[in-house]
Amino acid sequence: MGRVVQAFILVLVAVLPAGTSIAAQETASARVRLIATGGTISNREGGRLTAKELIELVPNLTNYAQVEAEQFANVSSSQLTLNQWLQLSQRVNHVLAEDPGLAGVVVTSGTDTLEETAYFLHLTVRSERPVVVVGAMRNPSTLGYEGAANLQQAFRVAAAPQSRGKGALVVLNGEINSAREVTKTDSLRLHTFATRGYGVLGLVDRDGVVYYRDMLRRHTYRSEFDLAGVTELPRVDVILVYQGASGDLIESVVDAGAHGIVVAAAGAGATSGTQNEAIAYAHKRGVFTVMSTRTGSGRVIPRQLPPLEQGMPEGRRLNIAHRIAAQDLAPLKARILLMLALTRTSDVTEIRRMFSEY
């Protein structure tokens, strides 16, 4: 290493506040916007913390980013409505479009349905800049509240240039997962968000934000889902397969006006009881069905229709002709992709294409 470079590093280390890494110092001037929606991270006994109060919890924040805040909502995640999803996505798109100098956006959310909100943003925010979704498992009145640490990590991820182009990211516990793949795997434990099968995208450590995987599937800036003219999301329900299940539930969501049904099937696409007959009922009424797996990971493989001469019973032929494979998307994520797909098309081939690209 040249003497000049050595001297520069010595000077740099001398002027950094104690405990600040060189990587963190590099992003200190990056501007990040916090959009708070509520959840356990803000659910203090006696009154929820506001967006501004959340920022004040993070020590030495200016070492990492310049954070501005706004309150979108202050409710538990499962109380957010689908209309609020539309508004949230429109708000994030607006903030990023209006402010080209903004490095990224952090969205707080309750953890219960966080993976759904994050995936919705992953498909509908049309920017390369990171959207980081963060929450906490312990509320601010609980011993061991981890919200401030998670927030600090989320701000660092949003400020880091290496986070660009990776879609919506979920950051808790020092881990960065893709919104597409992450699942809440435990109802109470801190280490609950995980990407089954594939693992984390990256980590937030003392020395900075480090990535080990990239997202190959279409999302955010490469997404075709433009919500500009969308005022309502089509109804799509999720139906679970279990031994001896009655098809009545499927028929009733069809009769109630669902446009699509995601079946959380057994194994790689099996139904049980009288569900197959009910799926045929759905198809006859123009309701799309997506087969996903209830296993928690793995694919449901797209199927080709066998040639007529192989003599497959007509009912089964029809089911294969109409059904869409979720591939490796979990049922909750498949529901969101199907809702968005139905805002653009009612052509089954087009919807299949979307399930193979996103």
Four-CA torsion 77, 78, 84, 90, nearest 10 degrees: 50
> Could you tell me if residue 111 is left (phi over 0), alpha (psi between -120 and 50 degrees) or otherwise beta?
alpha
Least distance (Å) between residue 104 CB and ligand GLU? 23
Nearer to ligand GLU, 43 or 220 (CB): 43
Residues facing residue 81 across a β-bridge: none
- With contacts defined by CB under 6 A, name the span among 97-105, 110-118, 156-164, 174-182 that binds ligand GLU: 110-118
- Reading the block at residue 84, the tokens are 């609020």
3-state class of 223 per DSSP? coil
Nearer to ligand GLU, 110 or 202 (CB): 110
- With contacts defined by CB under 6 A, name the span among 27-35, 51-59, 104-112, 172-180 that binds ligand GLU: 104-112
Least distance (Å) between residue 133 CB and ligand GLU? 12
- With contacts defined by CB under 6 A, name the span among 106-114, 122-130, 246-254, 278-286 that binds ligand GLU: 106-114
Going by C-alpha positions, the residue among 157, 90, 82 that lies closest to residue 127 is 90
Residue of minimal CB distance from ligand GLU?
110
Measured distance CA(63)–CA(197) in Å, rounded: 35
40 is catalytic: yes
- With contacts defined by CB under 6 A, name the span among 38-46, 54-62, 87-95, 235-243 that binds ligand GLU: 38-46
State yes or no: residue 140 binds ligand GLU (CB under 6 A).
no
Nearer to ligand GLU, 63 or 76 (CB): 76
Nearer to ligand GLU, 89 or 111 (CB): 111
Nearer to ligand GLU, 27 or 40 (CB): 40
State yes or no: residue 150 binds ligand GLU (CB under 6 A).
no
- Reading the block at residue 285, the tokens are 């009424």
Q: What residues numbered 46-85 form the site for ligand GLU, per CB under 6 A?
A: 76-78
Least distance (Å) between residue 278 CB and ligand GLU? 32
State yes or no: residue 39 binds ligand GLU (CB under 6 A).
yes
Q: Quick one: which of 73, 105, 110, 115 contacts ligand GLU (CB under 6 A)?
A: 110
Nearer to ligand GLU, 64 or 72 (CB): 72
Q: Quick one: which of 24, 27, 33, 38 contacts ligand GLU (CB under 6 A)?
A: 38
Least distance (Å) between residue 39 CB and ligand GLU? 4
State yes or no: residue 43 binds ligand GLU (CB under 6 A).
yes
Measured distance CA(280)–CA(317) in Å, rounded: 10
Q: What are phi and psi of 38, to 5 degrees?
A: 115, -145
Nearer to ligand GLU, 39 or 269 (CB): 39
Least distance (Å) between residue 153 CB and ligand GLU? 19
Characterize 271-298 residue by residue with b for buried, 16 or more Cβ atoms within 10 angstroms of its Cβ, and e for exposed: beebbbebbbbbbeeebbbbbbbbeeee
- Cβ-based neighbours of 155, under 8 Å, separated by 6 or more: 32, 34, 58, 61, 64, 65, 67, 106, 132
Which among 40, 124, 183, 271 is annotated as catalytic?
Answer: 40
Residues facing residue 201 across a β-bridge: none
State yes or no: residue 112 binds ligand GLU (CB under 6 A).
yes
First to last CA, the chain: 45
Going by C-alpha positions, the residue among 199, 196, 195, 149 that lies closest to residue 174 is 149
> Could you tell me if residue 197 is left (phi over 0), alpha (psi between -120 and 50 degrees) or otherwise beta?
left
Going by C-alpha positions, the residue among 144, 141, 157, 150 that lies closest to residue 111 is 150
State yes or no: residue 269 binds ligand GLU (CB under 6 A).
no
State yes or no: residue 111 binds ligand GLU (CB under 6 A).
yes
Helix (H) or strand (E) holding 293: strand 288-293
Q: What is the DSSP letter of 39?
A: S
Least distance (Å) between residue 130 CB and ligand GLU? 22
Active-site annotation, residues: 40
Interacting residue ranges for ligand GLU, rule: CB under 6 A: 38-40, 43, 76-78, 110-112
